[in-house]
């Protein structure tokens, strides 16, 4: 196995330098590394070097809906998006609620080998919201699950949520809550409750249905002394609750999706279900509050909530179509547009929110952190001036439901390295996706 020399890369957007990568690690960082005769030299002049991104929230759809996405196609989309690790959500068919299923997902991810696939275990059996799933067995399995979530559904029963928070403590695991009070926003609720939902006649999904659950959960986390993670925060009010909880010392972390950073509910005017997502797109003021919260660290991480859907699950009336949007291949570009360009985050900040903090929340060893000699070479090279126009037809994902189609995004991923191996070079997969 030959070494790789990254020539002239700018770690965290700082001073350009060379890096020598071998045996899966960064061996040396120096102004000039000549390298050996067989080494592959990657010209990284003008490129920003970041730790490989870690997604806390990915729907890979396998097992069950391989027509929409597979672990292979989702891994490819992730690598192209600059990710080196993704958390595969538990709402598959069957649900990832036993050690056997999470092991299957992790094993398949390792076979594909494009990103580290970290399975998320269900909190409740079958996502039923009544009985705890076999959390201990999943945590102790080879997959070593550290994130548990009923995502897609809320753990709405207060007692079950309390027990789940308590039960994961021996495993240093976290409960990732999809905050949605099902009595205030049921499965039919599909548009932010406000002027627009009233005018369009779409069932409203009020902000309070999210905020009240987060408020309860941070108090449960305080009571139990456990780790709580809040999925896809979508409202300014939720940010306030999380800020308050953090000021009290509660162990709570939170994520925001790229689409909630950039898009607003005004897009629903067309009734096009490509804009249907859960939680729903909110007014522009909420998006602004989310950007500010990501900038000041109240929100810890960007997570894609990549949710592939077959076209025939979107070709319905808005209320009948599936919830969800693609996110893996556009995440970096949207974060560059919403956070880097306006000066809310520098590249070190992007590394923190897209890699270090999510790796820490998910207890993903070897990912995130600093770029220094001796560390595993999970890295992403970004062209900060590489603007591109989104064309979902070109995506590696098996689905096409991107709300960013036609958007021009300001930055692109040029290369991704997983443990020292290039998975993506020149913006394309190094090897065809194993099917």
Partner 1 sequence: MSEDPRTLRHLLSAADLDRDTAVELLDTAARMHALQAREVKKLPPLRGRTIVNLFFEDSTRTRSSFEIAGKWLSADVVNVSAKGSSVSKGESLRDTALTVAAMGVDALVVRHNASGAAARIAGWVGCHVVNAGDGTHEHPTQALLDAYTLRQRLGDIEGRHVAIIGDITHSRVARSNVILLNTLGARVTIVAPPTLMPSGIASWQCETSWDIDSVLSGKAYGDVDAVMMLRVQRERMSGGYFPSEREYAIGYGLSPERLDLLGDAAPVLHPGPMNRGLEISSAAADGERSVVLDQVRAGVSVRMAVLFRLLAGNAEVVV
Residues forming contacts to partner 1 in the complex (CB under 8 A) are 193-202, 204, 206, 270-272, 311-313, 315-320
Nearer to partner 1, 139 or 274 (CB): 274
Rounded to 5 degrees, φ, ψ at 28 are -150, 145
Question: Between residues 199 and 248, which has the closer beta carbon with respect to partner 1?
Answer: 199
Taking the complex as a whole, how short is the minimal distance between the CB of residue 182 and partner 1, in angstroms? 14
- Where helices occur in 272-402 by DSSP H, the ranges are 284-296, 331-335, 347-351, 357-361
**Closest separation in Å from C-beta 196 to partner 1:** 7
Task: Considering the complex, state which of residue 37 and residue 201 has its C-beta at the smaller distance from partner 1.
Answer: 201
Residue 43 vs 186, nearer CB to partner 1: 186
Q: Are strands 412-418 and 379-383 parallel, antiparallel or unpaired?
A: antiparallel
- From the list 22, 97, 286, 305, the catalytic residue is 305
- Per-residue DSSP letter, 120: P
In which element (H, E) is residue 422 found? strand 421-425
- Which residues on adjacent β-strands are paired with residue 354? none
Give 283 or 358: the residue with its C-beta nearer to partner 1: 283
Count CB atoms within 10 A of the CB of residue 172: 10
- Give 43 or 272: the residue with its C-beta nearer to partner 1: 272
Buried b (16+ CB within 10 A) or exposed e, 182-208: eebbeeebbbbbeebbeeeebebbbbe
b/e 142-156 (16+ beta carbons within 10 angstroms → b): ebbbbbbbbbbbbbb
Residue ranges of alpha helices (H) inside 297-412 are 331-335, 347-351, 357-361
- For residue 97, give the 3-state DSSP assignment: coil
Query: Looking at beta carbons only, is 150 or 313 nearer to partner 1?
Result: 313
Smallest distance from the beta carbon of 283 to partner 1, in angstroms? 11
Q: Is 66 exposed, middle or buried (0-12, 13-18, 19+ CB in 10 A)?
A: middle
User: For 20, phi and psi rounded to 5 degrees?
Assistant: -105, 125
CB of 315 to partner 1, least distance (A): 4
Q: Which is nearer to partner 1, 192 or 291 (CB)?
A: 192
Calculated CA dihedral for residues 50, 56, 62, 63, nearest 10 degrees: 150
CA 346 to CA 130: how far, in whole Å?
43
Smallest separation (angstroms) from partner 1 to the CB of 234: 17
CA angle 170, 228, 166 (to 5 degrees): 35
Residue with tokens 């590489």: 386
Pairing of strands 83-88, 53-58: parallel
Report CA-CA distances (Å) from 428 to 82, 109, 260, 423. 11, 19, 27, 8
Q: Which of 406, 409, 370, 395 is nearest to 79 (CA)?
A: 395
Least Cβ distance, residue 306 to partner 1 (angstroms): 22
- DSSP-derived secondary structure letter, 44: -
Cβ at position 344, least distance to partner 1 in Å: 30
305 is a catalytic site residue: yes
Secondary structure class of 351 (helix, strand, coil): helix
CB of 433 to partner 1, least distance (A): 27
Q: Return the active site residues.
A: 305
């Amino acid at each position: 196995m030959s070494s790789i020399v990254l020539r002239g890369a700018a770690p965290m957007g700082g001073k350009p330098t060379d890096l020598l990568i071998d045996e899966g690690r960064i061996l040396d960082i120096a102004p000039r590394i000549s390298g050996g005769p067989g080494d592959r030299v990657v010209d990284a002049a003008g490129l920003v070097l970041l730790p490989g991104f870690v997604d806390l929230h990915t729907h890979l759809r396998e097992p069950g809906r391989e027509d929409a996405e597979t672990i292979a196609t989702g891994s490819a989309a992730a690598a192209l998006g600059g990710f080196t690790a993704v958390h595969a959500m538990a709402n598959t068919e069957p649900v990832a609620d036993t050690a056997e299923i999470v092991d299957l997902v992790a094993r398949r991810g390792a076979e594909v080998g494009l990103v580290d696939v970290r399975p998320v275990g269900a909190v409740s059996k079958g996502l039923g919201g009544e009985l705890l799933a076999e959390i201990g067995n999943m945590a102790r399995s080879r997959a070593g699950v550290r994130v548990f979530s009923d995502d897609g559904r809320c753990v709405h029963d207060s007692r079950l949520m309390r027990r789940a928070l308590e039960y994961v403590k021996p495993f240093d695991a976290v409960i990732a809550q999809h905050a949605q009070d099902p009595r205030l926003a049921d499965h039919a609720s599909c548009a932010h409750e406000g002027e627009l939902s009233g005018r369009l006649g779409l069932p409203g999904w009020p902000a309070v249905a999210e905020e009240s659950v987060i408020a309860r959960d941070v108090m449960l986390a305080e009571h139990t002394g456990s780790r709580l993670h809040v999925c896809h925060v979508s409202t300014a009010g939720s940010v306030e609750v999380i800020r308050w909880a953090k000021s009290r010392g509660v162990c709570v972390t939170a994520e925001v999706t790229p689409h909630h950073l950039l898009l607003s509910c005004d897009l629903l005017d067309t009734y096009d279900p490509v804009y249907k997502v859960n939680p729903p797109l909110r007014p522009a003021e909420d998006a602004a509050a989310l950007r500010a919260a990501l900038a000041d660290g109240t929100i810890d991480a960007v997570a894609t909530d990549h949710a592939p859907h077959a076209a025939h699950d979107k070709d319905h009336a808005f209320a009948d179509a599936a919830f969800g949007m693609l996110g893996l291949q556009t995440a970096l570009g949207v974060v560059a547009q919403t956070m880097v360009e306006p000066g809310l985050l520098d590249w070190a900040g992007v590394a923190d929110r897209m890699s270090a903090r999510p790796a820490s929340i998910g207890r993903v060893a070897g990912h995130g952190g600093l770029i220094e000699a001796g560390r595993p070479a999970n890295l992403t090279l970004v062209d900060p001036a590489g603007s591109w126009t989104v064309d979902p037809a070109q995506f590696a994902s098996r689905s096409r439901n991107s709300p960013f189609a036609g958007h021009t995004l300001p930055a692109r991923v040029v290369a991704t390295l997983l443990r020292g191996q290039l998975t993506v070079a020149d913006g394309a997969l190094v090897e065809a996706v194993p099917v």
